[in-house]
A and B are shown apart, each in its own frame.
Chain A
Amino acid sequence: MSEPVRPKSFQEIILRLQTYWAARGCAILQPYDMEVGAGTFHPATTLRSLGTRPWTAAYVQPSRRPTDGRYGENPNRLQHYYQYQVLIKPSPPDLQALYLGSLEAIGIEMDLHDIRFVEDDWESPTLGAWGLGWEVWCDGMEVSQFTYFQQVGGHDCHPVSGELTYGLERLAMYVLGVDHVMDMPFNDPQSAIALSYGDVFRQTEAEYSRWNFDLADTEKLLGDFERAEIECARILDAPEVDPKTGRRIVMAHPAYDQCIKASHIFNLLDARGVISVTERQAYIGRVRALSKRCADAFVTTAAGGWTPETGAER
């Protein structure tokens, strides 16, 4: 293989991943336009991993974890960061090889590094989902999660999706040899106007850290959570046939938006420290109940494998 040229910037790594996975047939989607905690929450992963219809997608997903905010000071922790997500259903037999190819594509020289697949089972209590797989280590550092979905929203996955999640900042810091995330070149450092990750995000990290930890209005958030929950149920309770068009329209996606919203509000409340240990479990259970209902609804839509002849597959 030709000697990989080392990328120069954060964005180049993203672009190379996009190019790599596009060349392997993935639909390159755009980030979901809502606040989520991880790329898995994108409906292109959660909902599309359900049902029998084949699917292949890759995308960057900005992700928010309010409790990880460190005001932009910590070299590795951010409350807003990027994940790169690949989901292929059914999982191809050469998924490991495809994944290793992507590492090579972003400039990791396979002959010099020690890549390992270390057991790490994945479970999302809020999504009612689990899978088996690994965290992938490069010289002792976790660079990706690799998961074969077994269940999502309480539904067994048939066929099984293979999911790859790259923590982009951490991976890029490693590839670019940077010790503090804020020092990482965002665009080409030779550009006329060179920007570092810190130039783009240092200020927002501080702003959001302050808001997440100390200012977010918990009363409002508690109310928002309730409203999202109610709206989700209301959407799913609506009759399948739309009285206006006369068509069968099950609104799985709008309902799922409310589930995403509730999940993020829960994360914010958690960061504000207003959720006790016992309540925590209860909130997680409430979000899971929403995601299950959305999954139930999705498998009764065409994208979820439903047909007028056969109905839902399970």
Chain B
Amino acid sequence: MPDLLLELFSEEIPARMQARAADDLKRLATDALVEAGLTYASAGAFSTPRRLVLTVEGLTEASPTLREERRGPRDDAPEKALEGFLRATGTTRDALELREEKKGRFYVAQVVTEGRPAATIIAEAIPQVIRNFPWPKSMRWGAGALRWVRPLHQIVCVLSAEDGAEIVPFEVDGIVAGNRTEGHRFMAPEPFSVSSFADYETKLKRAFVVLSAEERAAHIWEDAGNLAFAAGLEPVEDKGLLTEVSGLVEWPVVLMGRIGTAFLDLPPEVLQTSMREHQKFFSVRNPKTGRIERFITVANRETADHGATILAGNEKVLSARLSDARFFWENDLRIARDGMGPWADQLSNVTFHARLGTQAERIDRIARLAREIAPVLGAKPDDADRAARIAKLDLSSEMVFEFPELQGLMGRYYAEAAGLPAEIAAVAQDHYAPLGPSDAVPDAPLSVTVALADKIDTLTGFWAIDEKPTGSKDPYALRRAALGVIRILLSNGLRVNLDRFIDSQLVKHKIALNRAEAKEGEIAALEDVLEEIADHGVFGAAFETVMEAIRKNGKDQPQTGEGSLLRSVGDLVPDLSTDLLAFFHDRLKVYLKGEGLRHDVIDACLAMPGHDDLSLIVMRARALGGFLGTEDGENLLQGYKRAANILAQAEAADGVEYRYGADVKFTETDEERALFAALERAEGAIGPALEAEDFAAAMTEMAHLRGPIDAFFEAVKVNADSQIVRRNRLNLLHRIVETCTQIADLGRIEG
């Protein structure tokens, strides 16, 4: 059983691409070998800055010989058909046999595909893998046509077995596969030859190359911990950085250096970000004070002076970097302490989006919405307005210009420096949250208010200009914004009817989009609509009220007819609003799926009125989801379905809807009367339970109807001869359906 060793030796591969490339190499190469008929026992792939390596162990020596019988044309088929068959099967006429079948005599060929040695298969498969390698970005070099992530220099391809090793001969764009490689670029550049994976790995280590990225990472982290510990400190964990740094070195040498005392007063996040982003340093913290006091850098070599020159150089570069950071911090603090006025002015010159205006205009819209949302969440509207107006000022600061990832956090520092109350300053940091699906969600009422206003403004804005996410394209992270709204509402258990805020913000966007072109009075009328929404909460009614007033006033009023701005806003806003709410519902479904809630359960709850209150939907869905698994749940569903099916059949046959109240005076049997009584009792109990939002209790009451319903169907023929009796019974069924669908549209439940 031979083993395969493949090394693709190139100029430095970007760290972020290495792990994925190793996986791809393993998958593509083994797939190709298996496809060609080989099998293997195990495979592994490795990466360093300069090499991608594959080892495949226990390969079969050759692919199996395949025998296959193929039926050709009938013996009376034209000569041409037979010739074609001979060509296709690579046989000659005398090797064919004729076989009698139902439909005549057919030529049959025995096609033998000879097995091929592993080396031949490898020599064919690997060049294909190299040529079609899925690098995220690849390039050409010199005068060649081959694409690789950076120039590819050497290929080792060795097939080893107990009786020795052989080079698998192939060539890709002039690079001939061999058995020679080299070690560390500086510490052991002399080439050497290898005979197997074990031999390769050992020789590499002797040549100052640690092949495994995990081993390099573990080594770095261990040494970092030891160095820091010896100084009474600890390294700040950063998995992403560790992976990256492991991809920048073949022979990691961990060094700990000092941060100039002049920089130790910078906010720890600034130190950490500057060191990580610019220098790829780990931060080293004093566990007692939480202060960052040292750094750890990882060099790619040992030196005679034990890294002294390297460390001195790194310390010097860091000082220059941190001088910049301190310069930004001090300049920013000066402006912050003066009240941040210039930053607000600057945001009037910064475009948020070509059609959605400047950052200043955006902030103004968010502040207005925050003011509307505040009372619902128990925040003071004035505070919400103020917080929204300072929350993004740090976008003008020098620090955030340099380190965009510090936005929000710097805002909080600067707002505090400006003397703002802590809960307002916190909004600057909190209102961006949650950023990822597992990111913490704000819970302070002010922060929640502005966080919702910010996200709803973004969503309605892009809906208003028809830039919705499509497929995998979501350049403005609108899915993330919608999920943010969902998570904020649910994890705080907030009851918010989104419709009203969506409508209000859509109207604000329409005002902004049309301000320049609008005719006299139109903008004022739309502002009136906003006020009406604030008072009454519904766009349709608010809009009609304003239109009515315009019509009454008659002369000198803006146009309201077809083609007018007001009419188009009146037509468009409800559509956009419905569409955006549906987008929220889609995101909600994705979110709840993670919780294990069934799709049909969520759909059943989404079909109910009040579906712009996402917390309500989820309460219903969780109650229903839990309930359906119980015996009562089954009772509820079956009772409902029986009534609903017969009602639906009758309605379809008669072409009418049975929606009138059933009357007990037209009943004929005890079972009928018992059902009336049961409904009466159930409704009496369901009402208060719904009022209290005790959905489980309400559903239990509904489930109790199963007995009377079953008894009714046993005893009573719905299609009575008397039309009056029949109609009354169908109306009774409707009453059952109505009673049972007060929490969810059970008709959407599968099964």
Contacts and interface: CB of A to CB of B under 8 A. Distances in A.
B305 A112 contact: yes
A93 B49 CA distance: 18
B659 to A, nearest CB: 58
Contacts of B280: 118
B137 A132 contact: yes
B320 A150 contact: no
Contacts of A138: 313
A110 B186 contact: yes
A148 interface: yes
A203 interface: no
B515 interface: no
Given A113-B313, A116-B249, A119-B16, 17 more contacts: A75-B320, A91-B141, A93-B153, A111-B303, A112-B303, A113-B309, A113-B310, A114-B313, A118-B248, A139-B309, A141-B316, A148-B151, A157-B140, A160-B142, A160-B143, A276-B351, A278-B354
Interface in A110-141: 110-119, 121, 131-134, 138-141
Contact of A139 (B12, B310, B351): B310
Contact of A159 (B11, B142, B349, B350): B142
A103 to B, nearest CB: 12
Contacts of A75: 320, 323
Contacts of A140: 279, 281, 297, 313-314, 317-318
A116 B314 contact: no
A118 B49 CA distance: 10
B350 A92 contact: no
A108 to B, nearest CB: 10
A277 interface: yes
Nearest to B278: A140
Contact of B310 (A114, A179, A277, A278): A114
Contact of B11 (A90, A96, A141): A96
Interface in B26-55: 49
Contacts of A276: 349, 351
Contacts of A121: 137
B313 A174 contact: yes
Interface string B667-678: 000000000000
Interface in B271-303: 279-281, 297, 299-301, 303
A112 B304 contact: yes
Contact of B186 (A76, A115, A150): A115
Interface string B235-271: 0000000000000110000000000000000000000
9 contacts: A76-B320, A90-B143, A93-B142, A119-B14, A121-B137, A132-B139, A139-B310, A148-B139, A277-B350
B313 A139 contact: yes
Interface string A151-172: 0000001111010000000000
Interface of B: 11-12, 14-16, 49, 137, 139-144, 149-151, 153, 186, 248-249, 279-281, 297, 299-301, 303-305, 309-310, 312-314, 316-318, 320, 323, 349-351, 354
A134 B151 CA distance: 12
A162 B139 CA distance: 12
A75 B317 CA distance: 12
A160 B313 contact: no
A62 B557 CA distance: 65
A111 B304 contact: yes
Contacts of A117: 11-12, 49
B216 to A, nearest CB: 14
A111 B305 CA distance: 9
Contacts of A162: 141
Nearest to A131: B139
A17 B309 CA distance: 23
A139 B300 CA distance: 10
A114 B300 contact: yes
A93 B354 contact: no
A279 to B, nearest CB: 10
A251 B309 CA distance: 52
Contacts of A92: 142
Closest 3 CB pairs of A and B: A139-B313, A119-B14, A117-B12
B239 to A, nearest CB: 19
Given A139-B310, A140-B317, A276-B351, A160 B139 contact: yes
Interface string A7-47: 00000000000000000000000000000000000000000
Contacts of B186: 110-111, 115
A141 B313 contact: yes
Most buried by B among A92, A116, A150: A116
A312 B49 CA distance: 39
B15 A91 contact: no
Interface in A245-300: 276-278
A139 B142 contact: no
Most buried by A among B142, B153, B301: B142
A179 B313 CA distance: 12
A140 B313 CA distance: 7
B300 A150 contact: no
A76 B324 CA distance: 10
Nearest to B49: A117
